[in-house]
Amino acid sequence: MSKKIQSALISVFYKDGLDKIVELLHKNDVRIYSTGGTQTFIEELGIPVTAVEDLTSYPSIFGGRVKTLHPKVFGGILHRRDNDDDVKTAAELEIPAIDLVIVDLYPFEETVASGASEDDIIEKIDIGGIALIRGAAKNFNDVLIVSSRTQYDDVFGILSAKNCSTDLEDRKRFAKLAFGTSSHYDSAIHAYFAGIDDGGNFRAANQTPLRYGENPHQAATFYGKLDDMFTQLHGKELSYNNLMDVDACVRLIDEFEKLTYVIVKHNNACGVATAETSKEAYCNALACDPVSAFGGVIITNRNVDLATAEELHKLFFEILIAPSIDADALEILKKKKDRRLLLRKDVKTSKKQFRTLLNGVLEQDKDLSTEKTADFKIVTDRIPTDSENLALEFALKICKHLKSNNVVLAKDGQLLASGVGQTSRVDALKQAIDKAKEFGFDLNGAVMASEAFFPFPDCVEIANLAGINAVVQPGGSIKDQMSIDYCNQHNMAMVMTGIRHFLH
């Protein structure tokens, strides 16, 4: 059922992009009610506006805490136009119908994130706005609710095309978005008072439909604010699988302080290297597995310069993520039209992880433990050298982010090979050794890292025969001593961390 908008209530915190909607409403003779800063904004556009205080005959009180909470406002929104008793009551009480509500909410999450005082945070708990959103959404049969500035372009397009009329389908769709906004907002407030990190509260707001999910027959949506984390400089939109790989990239690169390049394919690193220059780090990362790198996702924690861009451009890859890219480097990288180029912003991510399964949801803390040399417990007669300790630290950071069972082989700040996602740790090690040999790496003097313990000494035996000198693993097997004994007999160094890093 199409309904012509004759009156609108507008009260927003963010006013960017609002002007074109207000001007369109005015051109279509829509009466506008507003209050506070929004009223001033509309008046400065030279457009007539009725103050909510004039409608209610009641002032804004308590420092603006109570402005729109009045029967003439909520009655105008909630009364049913097809209900004779409602229409009669509205006429008797001189309650005008309100057909459009544009309202957003005080920036509660942003205020919390800023480190503001509790008094400031509490003042950013919206009361009237959330009530307006819920009221207008409930009466979607008669009222269109716009609950976020992210919807401005969408609603402007609808109102422009339909001469300020809306269909029931439009109103119901925006009502769904509004209840999502409400749910997200209340959950964020609950998380603050409960002292919990709710993972960015994926339950509601900022929904981005994706073309499809992991496979074309699966529907998918991203919940979150990607624009807060990345600026996309070039290329088409990110897909579900792209986002999975981007997440894997971000989690791994954040382990490193030195200049590092990471290449990820299907959520697993197939190239990692640290070096003095960007070009060297990238080339070393690529050398690990140039076959798997084809079509991969690349991330670095340093600026991308021209020399590195020239090397990058030789490879077909899906996405490059960096904190910055030089202008001449960007010009080269943009030559592939579909290549996504992302600048990463300094944004904190959730310390929680969620996974739906069976008839519920699993929640856990992220694995934020990173063991360094000071955490190593030396269990063999031979003590690792300084260079081996650095290599063990490097390898351990990588294996923490690979699918279990996994084994990582590394040397001199470079991933040589890895075996990932195997049901047997022996198979993972054999896979890693075979890949290292395939790409011409000499494993003599290399180190090995495992995300979980060795149940038998077979892994250290195989590693020794391949030329590996030092090993890091969490330990904890009832047969640890057998692996330690083998290492002692063959002059290998082994350290244990006591921390397992399963990843499934």
Q: What is the average pLDDT across 141-166?
A: 93
Render pLDDT for 231-255 as a digit per residue (tens, 0 to 9). Answer: 999 999 999 999 999 999 999 999 9
Q: 145: pLDDT confidence band, cut at 50, 70 and 90?
A: very high
Distance CA 430, CA 443 (A): 13
SS3 state of residue 225: coil
Q: What is the mean pLDDT of the chain?
A: 93
Segment (H or E) for 449: strand 447-450
Query: How far apart (Å, rounded) are the C-alpha atoms in residues 190 and 179?
Result: 16
pLDDT single digits (tens) 483-503: 999 999 999 999 999 999 999
Inform me whether the pLDDT recorded for 298 exceeds 80. yes
Banded pLDDT at 58 (limits 50, 70, 90):
confident
Tell me, what DSSP letter sits at residue 216?
T
Choosing from 26, 138, 313, 437, which is the catalytic residue? Answer: 138
Q: How far apart are CA 34 and CA 101, in angstroms?
A: 10
pLDDT digit string, tens, across residues 410-433 = 999 999 999 999 999 999 999 999
What pLDDT score does 41 carry? 94
Query: What is 328-382 written as a DSSP string?
Result: HHHHHHTTSTT-EEEEEP-----SEEEEEETTEEEEEE-------GGG-EE-SSS
pTM for the model stands at 0.74
The tokens 């302080």 sit on which residue? 257
Residue 71, burial from CB neighbour count under 10 angstroms (0-12, 13-18, 19+): exposed
Tokens of 144: 């269109």
Cα 362 to Cα 85, 100, 133, 192, 451: the distances in Å are 49, 40, 31, 21, 22
Q: Tell me how crowded residue 396 is: count the other CB atoms within 10 A of its CB.
A: 28
Say whether 96 sits in a helix, a strand or coil. coil
How do residues 357-388 score in pLDDT, each as one tens digit?
A: 999 989 899 999 999 999 999 999 999 999 99
From the list 26, 266, 334, 336, the catalytic residue is 266
CA–chain centroid gap for 176, Å, is 22
Q: What single letter denotes the amino acid at residue 201?
A: N
157-168: pLDDT as tens digits: 999 999 999 999
Count other Cβ atoms within 10 Å, centred on residue 291.
10
Model pLDDT, residue 205: 54
CA atoms within 13 A on the CB side of 415: 34
Residue 64 has pLDDT above 80, yes or no: no
Q: How confident is the model at residue 184 (pLDDT cuts 50, 70, 90)?
A: confident
Instruction: Using the predicted structure, report yes or no on whether residue 203 has a pLDDT greater than 70.
Output: no
First to last CA, the chain: 50
Q: Which residues lie across from 504 on neighbouring strands?
A: none
Q: Is the pLDDT of residue 451 over 80?
A: yes
Give every CB contact of residue 232 below 8 A, 6+ residues apart in sequence. 238, 340, 341, 342
DSSP 242-295: HHHHHHHHHHHHTT--SSEEEEEETTEEEEEEE-SSHHHHHHHHHHH-HHHHTT
Q: What is the model's pLDDT at position 114?
A: 87
pLDDT of residue 1: 78
CA 97 to chain centre: 41
Contact yes or no for 292/264 (Cβ under 8 A): no
Name the 3-class secondary structure at 398: helix
**Residue 326: helix, strand or coil by DSSP?**
coil
Residue 116 pLDDT greater than 70, yes or no: yes
CA distance 341 to 272: 19
Angle between helices 84-92 and 71-78 (to 10 degrees): 150
Name the β-bridge partners of 330.
none
What pLDDT score was predicted for residue 198? 54
Q: What is the pLDDT of residues 75-115, one digit of tens each?
A: 999 999 999 999 999 899 999 999 999 998 888 988 988 88
Place 405 in a pLDDT band, splitting at 50, 70 and 90.
Answer: very high
Q: Is 266 a catalytic residue?
A: yes
Q: How confident is the model at residue 197 (pLDDT cuts 50, 70, 90)?
A: low
b/e for 1-32, b at 16 or more Cβ within 10 A? eebebebbbbbbbebeebeebbebbbeeebbb
Judged on CB neighbours under 10 Å (0-12, 13-18, 19+), 188 is: buried
pLDDT per residue over 254-297, tens digit each? Answer: 999 999 999 999 999 999 999 999 999 999 999 999 999 999 99
Q: Is the pLDDT of residue 124 over 60?
A: yes
Q: Which of 170, 187, 166, 319 is nearest to 242 (CA)?
A: 319
- Rg of the chain on CA atoms, in Å: 29
Residue 392, pLDDT > 70, answer: yes
pLDDT of residue 232: 96
Whether 380 and 490 have beta carbons less than 8 Å apart is answered as no
Is 504 a catalytic site residue?
no
Q: How many angstroms separate the Cα of 112 from the Cα of each of 99, 192, 494? A: 34, 8, 45
Res 204 pLDDT > 70: no
